[in-house]
Structure 1
């Protein structure tokens, strides 16, 4: 079928007049009318009926219209895929990421990649629920940066860097002059806990369980800046990912202290995941390769050491 005729059909079906379509497409009105006649002949039914000066859909036209939009959308996706094959450096990459990675890992990866491929665009999405994969069967992104590993044979996950987990104390805490401590050392303290949808909350519960510490949650923080603020106000202690170098925008406060957490497994693996059952378009494949090579060559940021 003539794809131009299909696009004109959709425009008229969505409320445009033939005159408006002709002006927009710089075609004659008789030419568009003839295109509609050919389209009706191919479909085998009348698609429009005249209502005054307007064309409205017949029942057959309405049924056809429900499928034309999806078909044109798929066609446009196919044309975009071909364009990326011809010029993969101009595509769009959809990336989901854990919010705590947005201050150091995401800027490093995007910045270093765009230094090579400045025309590639990114659709960046901070994950609201860190316990659900964005690249699973119902995922809508190309790649995910997260500490989440899902039990799905279709999802591939590659480790990038180990992220230390540290203990965060208020300035006047009795242990604030130390360099390291364990969860057992703060077993009697109230905890500021991350939100239940956070992977850090899951890890806090696991670490306390292994250490034999009863977790007493005094407040729940929806994000890390709020968590730091609660600790700085002396409302409790918390665990928190390490601060990172490479100019990361990492909010801090002189009223809090970071301590090395000596408990076993007080770290988390940050990785890159994607769905092996979906073919990545070239721009996304370029970025995937860049991320893995940058990790393999040791060029990712490093955690700031405890002074």
Structure 2
């Protein structure tokens, strides 16, 4: 068994499918199946079970998965360090961006970086901030953009946005005439929230609970523009960052300052403190820090 066996095993677990893993790795399915069987034969235990179209880990598979992650990470670190030593300015960066963050803050950064480093490939994965955080923590992503606060014992951070949330309602809503609204005034309102994998989902719910009530959730979405459209259709109230609110059509919605309490929206670039960071990733961080 060599490191490729473990890399292929990890990809099958990630994709939950032999077929999808083979497509991602650009190899045939029989090849990847044989690699997994080689590991099973070597240790004498089954690692994966096919349940319908999905591949599910056995108890033995979970043990191999835990150690395989560490081994493959160490191998990648070795490869990256040797590449850096040879000063080969090539490589690949995996970055996680929440959808609304990526759309507003990073297109120009990514474009300028590509001009400066044409041989570095950037893979951008869009997901809610909670998933991005988890993927950076697990090593699935090198770098992520998340909503603060974060665990400073685990992550390096670069803060680049400090805003607060605003209330978004239909112009005919009774609260639309006010200059500012207290959170408790939304007690009986139906809320339109981001999905559970977005940090703002939990943040808004927890802040409402601290204010004395549990919000009534009418709709959830991963798209801020759809959330604003639902508010414009009188289907509930929404809480969106200032940057997003600047893009809204004020004929269709009213944006009001939220107070008591103010709900912060603070963004940061994060990466693990205890993992080797490739030359490409370090250059991207330094470049982005200057740009932002």
* TM-score normalized by the length of structure 2: 0.65
Q: Is the CA contact 1:94–1:124 (under 8 Å) kept in the aligned structure 2? A: yes
Q: Is the CA contact 1:181–1:260 (under 8 Å) kept in the aligned structure 2? A: yes
User: Are positions 1:268 and 2:269 aligned together?
Assistant: no
**How many Å separate the matches in 2 of 1:111 and 1:176?**
39
Equivalent residue, structure 1, for 2:283? 286
User: Are positions 1:163 and 2:163 aligned together?
Assistant: yes
Larger radius of gyration: 1
**How many Å separate the matches in 2 of 1:257 and 1:108?**
30
* TM-score normalized by the length of structure 1: 0.62
Q: Is the CA contact 1:85–1:282 (under 8 Å) kept in the aligned structure 2? A: no
Gaps spanning 5+ residues in structure 1: where?
1-61, 295-299, 301-307
Matches of residues 208-223 of structure 1 in structure 2 within 5 Å?
208-223=208-223
Q: Is the CA contact 1:232–1:253 (under 8 Å) kept in the aligned structure 2? A: no
Equivalent residue, structure 2, for 1:172? 172
Shift of residue 231 of structure 1? 0.7
Q: Indicate the structure with greater helix content.
A: 2
Q: Is the CA contact 1:98–1:130 (under 8 Å) kept in the aligned structure 2? A: no
**How many Å separate the matches in 1 of 2:250 and 2:144?**
30
Q: Deviation per CA, 1:107-138, whole angstroms, max 9, x where unpaired?
A: 243234335334432110112572552221x2
Q: What's the secondary structure of 2:175's corresponding residue?
A: coil
Equivalent residue, structure 1, for 2:254? 257
**How many Å separate the matches in 2 of 1:200 and 1:287?**
26
Q: Deviation per CA, 1:197-250, whole angstroms, max 9, x where unpaired?
A: 2211111112212333441222222332221121111101011122269xx9x5
CA RMSD of aligned residues (A): 3.5
Q: Deviation per CA, 1:166-186, whole angstroms, max 9, x where unpaired?
A: 111112212324443222333
**How many Å separate the matches in 2 of 1:128 and 1:187?**
26
Matches of residues 85-164 of structure 1 in structure 2 within 5 Å?
85-87=85-87, 89-128=89-128, 130=130, 132-136=133-137, 138-151=138-151, 153-164=153-164
